């Protein structure tokens, strides 16, 4: 009896062991072999219609006091989807949805969607707030699903929109960065396969290492930019005012620290709201400050002068005979006012913005030396951390005609991006050394480590003495010429130069009445903390850059001096007429 009982027990035990073993095998297949497929299925059931909630790293502005402010982050809310097969009362459902959602399908489109009885899932509204989503869900309308949703959100809206960039599907099936920093740092900002829950068994059986040290945490993170939000706001406002006042095609500006290459602000107008791009012209999405090239005109003259001084072919005391107009290779070039100045020193080339003076320096320099300086300044891309950077156009400097060199000396016949231009001019504000312009100072990895990016690579171009001599000439522009001398700041030396270039007419010539205006300046002139480059393309009913951009430059200069409390660097008379 006892033996019989024991054998029965053993049979039952064997069965239990077998069943347990089968369960474990099944568990292995469910959790590990087919785990991903089940995870996606679960996502579809309780998270959203897609493969999972959208996730992406943040982009931060950095205030002057070191406080990060979100430039791009994530917002959370709900989407509404309908199941046409179970939706009983489309009219009532539409009324409830429109009451909760700020935007949804039109009434007719909704009814058309509800009539598609072969489908079980159609999204009809997005971006519901937490409160509205929960209210709608509480109504438990049959055939209406309220599902958790996350989306990219730009708290600044238009603020630095061209630089921060956009996220969209592009030509693929997943959301990814398409322009700006979103594209440049897409690998870092993207989040791969991170779902809201963990597969405990799968982690336990196959992925113990990643529970402790995750490889993803070492490659995914957030980025911290060098953009200061208040300076950016001010620059955008000034640029917009210029563009609207003179009905320009486009205007832009960059503020950079010439010592490090950190871009403090960069703006272009027209712009767009990064949170609402439905009706935005796609041509606005790129960044013209790094993608478009322009002939900048006379702001090239300080570079030409510095090259002449650096090469030793001129000194500040050198004079030349200015005749107003000259003919070179059958082409006639003149000063902006067609007037002759006679025998004058080098400083007047900058102060009076004389084309003939710049052309004379280029001739003295010689073609090869001029080309070499130009190639060093503009021959390579700046390497800024933005996509689709353009290249400078100066192929005409490979030809032997002197006219090409003479016109390039005052910024016509050669074209470069605003970013290349501020980098080159930044050499004048940094002892003759070009820096590496950049928008990102550091990345914050998910592991908690913050990694500073190395932008220390520099390119020496000019000697310090040549740069200082040119700076002195540029300081005279503000102290003596700008606004008739009223722009002079007694306690701060500011170096500047205006540029007015004729626009090309597309037929190998130039318009006589359409211009590209530019303005560059840096301060404190002999130990600069800021360099500002402004431009406006094709302003109407105005000829000179000093008129269009002078007040914007001065507004930004005074703002930066006050905002950063830049200490005075000289002690002239302390009271001036306003």
Partner 1 sequence: MLNFFHRLPYSVTSLCVTLVAVLVIAYIGLIAITMSYAALTVEFSQSVRNNEAVVAALEQQYFAAMAHIAKTDYAAAGYVTPRTKVFVPAKSVTALR
Catalog residues that contact partner 1 under the rule CB under 8 A.
6, 9-10, 13, 16-17, 20, 23, 69-70, 73-77, 130, 148, 150, 153, 155-157, 159, 196-198, 200-201, 229-230, 233-234, 236-237, 468, 472, 475-476, 479, 489-491, 493, 524-527, 567-571, 574-578
The pair of structure tokens assigned to 425 is 């001019």
Strand partners, 145: 81
Q: Which is nearer to partner 1, 410 or 523 (CB)?
A: 523
On the CB side of 501, CA atoms within 13 Å amount to 28
Tally of CA atoms within 13 A in the half-sphere of 541 that contains its CB: 6
Which pair of tokens denotes residue 166? 């956009």
Q: Is 465 strand, coil or helix?
A: helix
Looking at the Cβ atoms of 150 and 381, the one nearer to partner 1 is: 150
Q: Of 9 and 112, which CB lies nearer to partner 1 in the complex structure? A: 9
Residue 272 tokens read as 């767009």
CB of 78 to partner 1, least distance (A): 12
What's the min distance (Å) between Cβ of 337 and partner 1? 26
User: Closest distance between partner 1 and the C-beta of residue 440, in Å?
Assistant: 19
Q: State how far the Cα of 83 lies from the Cα of 70, in Å rounded to an integer.
A: 37
| Nearest distance in Å: CB 120, partner 1 | 24
Q: How many CB atoms lie within 10 A of CB 395?
A: 10
Distance (Å, rounded) from C-alpha 414 to C-alpha 394?
A: 5
Give least dist CB 203 to partner 1, A.
10
How many of the other CB atoms lie within 10 Å of CB of 167?
24
CB of 252 to partner 1, least distance (A): 17
State which residue, 343 or 578, has the beta carbon closest to partner 1.
Answer: 578
Nearest CB to partner 1, comparing residues 157 and 460: 157
Helix (H) or strand (E) holding 145: strand 144-153
Could you tell me the CA-to-CA distances from 375 to 358, 371, 381, 431, 446 in Å, in that order?
Answer: 18, 6, 11, 19, 41
Name the phi and psi angles at 402, rounded to 5: -65, -30
d(CA 149, CA 127): 7
**Cβ nearer to partner 1, comparing 122 with 235:** 235
Minimum CB distance to partner 1, residue 463 (Å) = 17
Give min distance, CB of 243 to partner 1, in A.
14
**Which is closer to partner 1, CB of 31 or CB of 498?**
31
Cα(462)–Cα(310) distance, rounded to whole angstroms?
A: 6
Instruction: State in angstroms the smallest separation of the CB of 490 from partner 1.
Output: 5
Check if the beta carbon of residue 510 is closer than 8 Å to that of residue 531.
Answer: no
Report the residue number, 240 or 328, with the smaller CB distance to partner 1: 240
Helix 107-114 and helix 90-100, axial crossing angle in degrees, nearest 10 = 130
Give the residue with the Cβ less far from partner 1, 277 or 391.
Answer: 277
| Token pair for 125 | 């509204």
Beta carbon nearer to partner 1, 23 or 449: 23
Query: How far is residue 372 from each of residues 1, 3, 108, 304, measured CA to CA in Å?
Result: 108, 104, 67, 12
Q: Which is nearer to partner 1, 107 or 200 (CB)?
A: 200
**Is the bond preceding 367 in cis, omega lying within 30 degrees of 0?**
no
Of 157 and 342, nearer to partner 1 (C-beta) is 157
- Minimal distance in Å, beta carbon 197 to partner 1? 4
Q: How far is the CB of 479 from partner 1 (least distance, A)?
A: 7
CB of 363 to partner 1, least distance (A): 29
Q: How far apart are CA 434 and CA 427, in angstroms?
A: 5
Tokens representing residue 510 in the block: 């130039």
Q: Tell whether the torsion through CA atoms of 236, 242, 248 and 254 is positive or negative.
A: negative
Q: Are 358 and 350 in contact (CB under 8 A)?
A: no
């Amino acid at each position: 009896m006892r033996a019989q009982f024991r054998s029965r027990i053993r049979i039952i035990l064997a069965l239990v062991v077998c069943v347990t073993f089968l369960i474990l095998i099944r568990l292995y297949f469910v959790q590990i072999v087919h785990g991903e497929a089940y995870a996606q299925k679960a996502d579809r059931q309780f998270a959203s219609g897609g493969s999972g909630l959208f996730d992406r790293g943040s982009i931060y502005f950095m205030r002057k006091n070191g406080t990060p402010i979100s430039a791009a982050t994530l917002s959370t809310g709900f989407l509404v989807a309908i199941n046409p097969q179970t939706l009983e009362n489309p009219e009532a459902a539409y009324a409830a949805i429109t009451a909760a959602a700020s935007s949804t399908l039109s009434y007719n489109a909704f009814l058309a969607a509800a009539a598609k009885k072969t489908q079980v899932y159609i999204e009809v509204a997005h971006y519901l707030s937490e409160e509205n989503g929960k209210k709608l869900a509480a109504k438990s309308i049959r055939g209406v699903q309220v599902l958790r949703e996350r989306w990219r959100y730009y708290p600044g809206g238009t603020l630095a929109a061209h630089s921060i960039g956009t996220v969209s599907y592009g030509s693929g099936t997943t959301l990814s960065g398409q322009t700006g920093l979103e594209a440049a740092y897409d690998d870092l900002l993207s989040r791969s396969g991170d779902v809201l829950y963990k597969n405990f068994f799968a982690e336990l059986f196959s992925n113990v290492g990643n529970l402790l040290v995750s490889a993803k945490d070492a490659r995914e993170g957030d980025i911290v930019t060098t953009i200061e939000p208040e300076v950016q706001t001010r620059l955008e406002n000034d640029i917009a005012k210029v563009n609207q006042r003179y009905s320009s095609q486009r205007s832009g500006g960059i503020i950079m620290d010439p010592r490090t290459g950190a871009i403090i602000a960069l703006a272009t107008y027209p712009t767009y709201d990064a949170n609402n791009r439905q009706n935005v012209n796609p041509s606005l999405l790129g960044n013209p400050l790094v993608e478009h090239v322009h002939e900048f005109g006379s702001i090239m003259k300080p570079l030409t002068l510095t090259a002449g001084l650096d090469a030793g072919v001129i000194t500040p005391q050198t004079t030349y005979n200015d005749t107003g107009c000259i003919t070179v290779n059958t082409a006639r070039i003149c000063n902006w006012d067609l007037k002759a100045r006679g025998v004058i020193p080098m400083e007047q080339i900058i102060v009076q913005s004389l084309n003939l003076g710049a052309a004379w320096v280029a001739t003295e320099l010689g073609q090869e030396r001029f080309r070499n300086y130009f190639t060093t300044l503009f021959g390579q891309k700046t390497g800024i951390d933005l996509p689709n950077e353009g290249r400078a156009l100066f192929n005409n400097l490979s030809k032997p005609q002197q006219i090409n060199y003479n016109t390039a000396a005052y910024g016509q016949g050669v074209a470069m991006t605003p970013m290349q231009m501020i980098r080159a001019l930044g050499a004048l504000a940094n002892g003759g050394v070009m820096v590496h312009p950049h928008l990102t100072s550091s990345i914050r990895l998910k592991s908690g480590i913050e990694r500073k990016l190395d932008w220390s690579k520099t390119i020496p171009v000019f000697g310090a003495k040549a740069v200082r001599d040119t700076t002195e000439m540029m300081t005279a522009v503000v102290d003596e010429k700008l606004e008739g001398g009223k722009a002079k700041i007694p306690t701060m030396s500011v170096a500047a130069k205006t540029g007015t270039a004729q626009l090309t007419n597309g037929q190998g010539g130039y318009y006589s009445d359409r211009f590209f205006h530019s303005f560059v300046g840096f301060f404190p002139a002999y130990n600069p903390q800021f360099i500002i480059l402004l431009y406006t393309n094709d302003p109407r009913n105005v000829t000179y850059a000093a008129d269009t951009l002078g007040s914007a430059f001065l507004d930004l200069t005074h703002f930066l001096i006050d905002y950063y409390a830049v200490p005075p660097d000289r002690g002239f008379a302390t009271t001036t007429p306003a």
